[in-house]
Chains A and B, each alone.
Chain A
Amino acid sequence: KAGVTQTPRYLIKTRGQQVTLSCSPISGHRSVSWYQQTPGQGLQFLFEYFSETQRNKGNFPGRFSGRQFSNSRSEMNVSTLELGDSALYLCASSLGAGGLDEQFFGPGTRLTVL
């Protein structure tokens, strides 16, 4: 069974640009959650999507948005990039809109903002 895949794995952007990250969940999983991981703030929850609807949202500005498609694949968009957005962005999938014990994480997308 294939795991969670994230593309691209590495990305370099400049301030002010926007970026879209993609996550393909494990087959059959309907929930996708996104996290930001930085050395300063650690791992922080961005949002969760289940059946194309946002179910939960962390404390991030509106520049961070996401969506989920009917095949459960999810994209995360960050507009007007700032230097502080440089981070590892992790995606996790689960069968239902469940808790941490049901989530399977992808390897992440490393975003560098110059």
Chain B
Amino acid sequence: GDSVTQMEGPVTLSEEAFLTINCTYTATGYPSLFWYVQYPGEGLQLLLKATKADDKGSNKGFEATYRKETTSFHLEKGSVQVSDSAVYFCALRVGGSSGGSYIPTFGRGTSLIVHP
């Protein structure tokens, strides 16, 4: 079946450090890939997405590139802030969009802690 593997956390960084959170996947079919963020006490929020190979998703300074050859979708940010402290989830979906059948698959999440 489909699966998503994320690096285990917590990842602890100082403010303005460079961030990389690794994500690799296995999927039957051609997936769309997503990064979600969950702040303490809140639900998940879509951070960015990519729907085909070599696409780069970006939002709020975060970036991730869909690498089909390495089945990866690593999350990066050049300079993290304390407010970026949260749990980050990599996810995939194979199948059609509206009206289609799909089962979303999530990684286990990576906790990021940013110190001032």
Contacts and interface: CB of A to CB of B under 8 A. Distances in A.
B43 A45 contact: no
A8 interface: no
A96 B96 CA distance: 12
Interface in A41-76: 41-45, 55-56, 58
B28 interface: no
B109 A42 contact: yes
A90 B41 CA distance: 12
B41 A107 contact: yes
Sorting the interface of chain A by its residue count into under 10, 10 to 19, 20 to 34 or 35 or more gives: 20 to 34
A101 B49 contact: yes
Interface stretch (B11-19, B60-68, B99-107): B99-107
Contact of B107 (A42, A92, A96): A42
A99 B93 contact: yes
A43 B106 contact: yes
B81 interface: no
Interface string B88-115: 0101010101111111111111000000
Contact of B46 (A41, A96, A100): A100
Interface of B: 32, 34, 36, 41-46, 49, 89, 91, 93, 95, 97-109
7 contacts: A43-B108, A45-B103, A96-B99, A97-B99, A98-B98, A99-B102, A100-B104
Interface of A: 4, 41-45, 55-56, 58, 90, 92, 96-108
